């Protein structure tokens, strides 16, 4: 099991969304694009939630329901060849809110076309806001 690491600094608060299941058509093989398959997404966002907790105000944090809908729309949207590409698009979306200082996304492809018995295939991408250049967080 992969454990998300804590970023440097004072941001120890995090929002975790695990097991978001969405049908998508990502993959290199034409059958994957035609038939589609289920993808599972885990996301962890680091941010300071002090103001949100103090004011009991959802607008001062990241609304995880809205985040789930945004991530699901990307997975269900236009196909890409690699889950690496998909994971990068998802982590960029997680970093859109300026209050998020770090995000980690894992994309699981449990029905990957591998002719062997396996439990899971997953790609994890982690990014700190400080690693991004100006304008690097894009809308997909």
In a domain, 3, yes or no: no
Active site residue ranges: 109
In a domain, 74, yes or no: yes
Q: What is the pTM of this model?
A: 0.86
Structural domain harbouring 37:
14-131
In a domain, 8, yes or no: no
**pLDDT 10s per residue in the chain (140 long)?**
444 555 445 568 999 999 999 999 999 999 999 999 999 999 999 999 999 999 999 999 999 999 999 999 999 999 999 999 999 999 999 999 999 999 999 999 999 999 999 999 999 999 998 876 554 544 33
In a domain, 4, yes or no: no
**119, two tokens:** 């439990």
Report the number of distinct structural domains present in the chain: 1
Q: What is the domain-level CATH number for residue 115?
A: 3.30.1130.10
In a domain, 18, yes or no: yes
């Amino acid at each position: 099991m992969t454990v998300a690491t804590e970023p440097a600094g004072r941001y120890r608060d995090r929002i975790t969304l695990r097991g978001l299941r969405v049908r998508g058509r990502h993959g290199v093989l034409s059958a994957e694009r035609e038939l589609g398959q289920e993808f599972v997404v885990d996301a962890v966002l680091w941010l300071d939630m002090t103001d949100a907790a103090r004011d009991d105000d959802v607008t001062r944090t990241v609304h995880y329901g809205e985040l789930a809908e945004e991530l699901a729309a990307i997975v269900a949207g236009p196909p890409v060849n690699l889950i690496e590409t998909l994971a990068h698009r998802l982590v960029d979306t997680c970093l859109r809110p300026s209050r998020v200082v770090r995000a980690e996304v894992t994309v699981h492809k449990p029905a990957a076309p591998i002719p062997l018995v396996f439990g899971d295939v997953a790609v994890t991408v982690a990014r700190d806001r400080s690693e991004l250049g100006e304008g690097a967080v894009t809308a997909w």
